[in-house]
Structure 1
Amino acid sequence: MSTPSLHDDAIVIDGLIIAKWDRALFEDMRKGGLTAANCTVSVWEDFEATVDNIVAVNQLMRDNAELVRPVHTTRDITRAKEEGKTGIILGFQNAYAFEDKLGYIEVFKKLGVGITQLCYNTQNLVGTGCYERDGGLSGYGREVIAEMNRVGMMCDLSHVGSKTSEEVILESKKPVCYSHCLPTGLKEHPRNKSDEELKFIADHGGFVGVTMFTPFLRAGVNATVEDYVEAIVYIMNIVGEDAIGIGTDFTQGQDEAFFEWLTHDKGYARRLTRFGEIINPKGIRTIGEFPNLTQALLDHGLSEPVVRKIMGENWLRTLKDVWGE
């Protein structure tokens, strides 16, 4: 099968997009042939502000219903493929919106939130992020994991500290993920995961989505889509071909103020990091260039069945394991 038709035919899932919500984004998702994407609706926001975000996103999806559809089940993902639309999975990058009320987890699940990252870089009521001394999973955090397992919401550990992550992996009865990460084996960075951490999550039934965020890639701002493929293959050689997928971390359309908000604790307090220039790898600068990634994986010598797994089939299977449908 030729590459364009392979990409067009495949299930293509992006495990993390934190781009600016608008029609232009949805149009680019269709141009790129995305079947579904985990799109961030909460980072530092509390319960009420997160609900307000979801209200706005729901309206935007209604206004652009010919391009996108909401996702609550994996059947919604395959339905999006059949309809020629992109399925929007609502996701959190922090459990902050749960506040201290376990019942909010089920409420958000019913609103369409399918994936929640437990901590965003710093400490919260659940555990510790990757930019702080890691105290591990709290007692409340264990209750959160149990409730997420019960309602069918996936635990994401991308920005979570090493000790907290290990304890979540052991605590969860359902697969957990690093939805968007890179290996320290290629570049040392607080956000990257060691070979041991990658192996540990895979050995316990977990999943790894590989990001292309250039501050974490070995070649930095000079990275190309081939450098991204290098990182994918590096991780696949550790976790295996069934536990790996894509999680680009696309920030398309976001401005400098957005990155200032992201890189300060709680959005306003101490500075946690500086990203420097934000530019995606050459060849996949925009979501619309997604087919270039399929081509680059094939050019690297990966077989068509493996490329299909990486581009979306593994995500689909893992989400079904967690969501139950």
Structure 2
Amino acid sequence: MSSKTITIPKPQQGKFWAAYVPCDSQHKDAVQLTLEQIDVIRRFTELYHPRLTLCTSSEDITTSHKQHQLCSLIGVEGGHSLAGSLAVLRTLYHVGVRYLTLTSTCNTPWADCSHADMPGKKPEHGGLTAFGKTIIKEMNRLGMIVDLSHVSVGTMRDALDVSKAPVIFSHSSAHALCNSTRNVPDETLRKLALNRGVVMVNFYSQFLTCSDTSTLADAVAHINHIREVAGIDNVGLGAGYDGINYVPQGLEDVSTYPNLFAELIGTGKWNVEDLKKLAGLNFLRVFKEVEKVRDEFKKANVPPYEEVMLPRPKDNNCTSQDHF
């Protein structure tokens, strides 16, 4: 289990706990392990209630702010946790999951991960398969946020074409400044602006400078680049501190965020209202718009999508062939 802190101007804060299970659990026990991770998150939240409170909506975040509580939100990092099942996706929503990262560091049978864009590698699917596009539609119908960190450029493209709701990159940086396949190319940033989504900048040195060393100024450069290409409404913070090995000098943890904000103001490009958007209001706006799309689906009486992924994986697949 890892966490990503969404800082919405004090005292309003939210933390997304990422229920992550390794890629080698794919076609094995990924669903069970994911549910066990979610169980830990919920028990941990209950242990520290009321200071920590479970939030499953944008309204919950606003309410927790008024009550001076810290929001505990649940995400799932890696589409392999679905085992190719729309029913599992719906069940994850029902137990509180509010974003899904479409892939982790492995392809799923319906989506390519960022490794597909590495030199010498080839995409397995060319982005999203037809079933993968149905996953996006069902996430829109449910009101679950689509997260495109970790996915290939082809998957980014297809998801942005299909999704009726804004998407996020929960922990990615700018490809133009560091050509890691985990970062977002300018072409995608421009499409993201049309989608009204948000890139939440990752502070891992390998994604800022493509090396083991970086500084606060490097993080500022990525934030400013994304703002310049996509817009002030499309950038946020997704440091990923507990999942990274090398952090920027001067930006070692969330206690150093005041230094980041001071540096941004010092560039002359940012004011207090801009910083509020960066710190969390952009994400909160995305969450609200995802819920609005969900409500539109409900008003139109759109039923759950029922497609079955074909062909079903056979190698190392610990499932029975006949379900009923």
Task: Please tell me the TM-score bracket, short chain as reference.
Answer: 0.7 to 0.9
> Which residue identity does 1:210 align to in structure 2?
V
Matched with 1:323 is: 291
What is the TM-score normalised by the length of structure 2? 0.79
CA change 1:241–1:79 in 2 (3 A) is same
Matched with 1:292 is: 259
CA change 1:195–1:108 in 2 (3 A) is same
Aligned counterpart for 1:280 among listed residues 247, 250, 274? 247
**Alignment check: 8 A CA contact 1:125 1:140 kept:** no
**In 2, distance between residues paired with 1:33 and 1:228?**
24
Aligned counterpart for 1:38 among listed residues 6, 12, 16? 16
Aligned to 2:41, the other structure's residue is in SS state: helix
Matched with 1:238 is: 229
Aligned counterpart for 1:214 among listed residues 200, 205, 214? 205
CA change 1:19–1:36 in 2 (3 A) is closer
**Alignment check: 8 A CA contact 1:36 1:80 kept:** no
**In 1, distance between residues paired with 2:109 and 2:11?**
38
Q: CA deviation at 1:130?
A: 0.7
Matched with 2:181 is: 190
Q: CA deviation at 1:103?
A: 1.3
CA change 1:66–1:296 in 2 (3 A) is farther
CA change 1:296–1:242 in 2 (3 A) is same
**Alignment check: 8 A CA contact 2:140 2:165 kept:** yes
**Alignment check: 8 A CA contact 1:195 1:238 kept:** yes
**Alignment check: 8 A CA contact 2:3 2:15 kept:** no
CA displacement, residues 238-294 of structure 1 (integer Å, 9 cap, x when unaligned): 001111111111216xxxxxx8xxxxxxxxxxxxxxxxxx22112221233333332
1:123 maps onto 2:114 in alignment: no
1:109 maps onto 2:97 in alignment: no
Matched with 1:148 is: 139
Matches within 5 A, 1:1-325: 18-19=2-3, 35-44=13-22, 46-132=30-116, 133-134=122-123, 135=125, 136-218=127-209, 220-251=211-242, 278-301=245-268, 302-324=270-292
Q: After the TM superposition, which of the residue ranges 217-226 and 203-212 deviates more from structure 2?
A: 217-226
> Which residue identity does 1:199 align to in structure 2?
R
**Alignment check: 8 A CA contact 2:17 2:41 kept:** no
Aligned to 1:131, the other structure's residue is in SS state: helix
User: Mind listing any 5+ residue stretches in structure 2 that lack a counterpart?
Assistant: 117-121, 296-324
What is the TM-score normalised by the length of structure 1? 0.79
> Which residue identity does 2:246 align to in structure 1?
I
Please give the root-mean-square deviation of Cα atoms over the aligned residues, in Å.
2.4
Aligned to 1:222, the other structure's residue is in SS state: coil
**Alignment check: 8 A CA contact 1:137 1:168 kept:** yes
**In 2, distance between residues paired with 1:18 and 1:33?**
23
**Alignment check: 8 A CA contact 1:38 1:115 kept:** no
Aligned-residue sequence identity (percent) comes to 25
CA displacement, residues 119-173 of structure 1 (integer Å, 9 cap, x when unaligned): 1132102210010222221121122111111100011111100111101110111
> Which residue identity does 2:105 align to in structure 1?
N
**Alignment check: 8 A CA contact 1:92 1:117 kept:** yes
**Alignment check: 8 A CA contact 2:111 2:128 kept:** yes
**In 2, distance between residues paired with 1:195 and 1:110?**
35
CA change 1:191–1:34 in 2 (3 A) is farther
> Which residue identity does 1:156 align to in structure 2?
D
> Which residue identity does 2:256 align to in structure 1?
E
**In 1, distance between residues paired with 2:150 and 2:238?**
13
Q: CA deviation at 1:74?
A: 0.6
**In 2, distance between residues paired with 1:77 and 1:151?**
19
Q: CA deviation at 1:107?
A: 1.2
Q: After the TM superposition, which of the residue ranges 285-294 and 54-63 deviates more from structure 2?
A: 285-294
CA change 1:70–1:307 in 2 (3 A) is same
User: Mind listing any 5+ residue stretches in structure 1 that lack a counterpart?
Assistant: 1-16, 253-258, 260-277
Q: CA deviation at 1:191?
A: 1.2
CA change 1:34–1:186 in 2 (3 A) is farther
CA change 1:80–1:96 in 2 (3 A) is same
Task: Answer 1 or 2: higher relative contact order, Cα 8 Å, separation at least 6.
Answer: 1
**Alignment check: 8 A CA contact 2:173 2:199 kept:** no
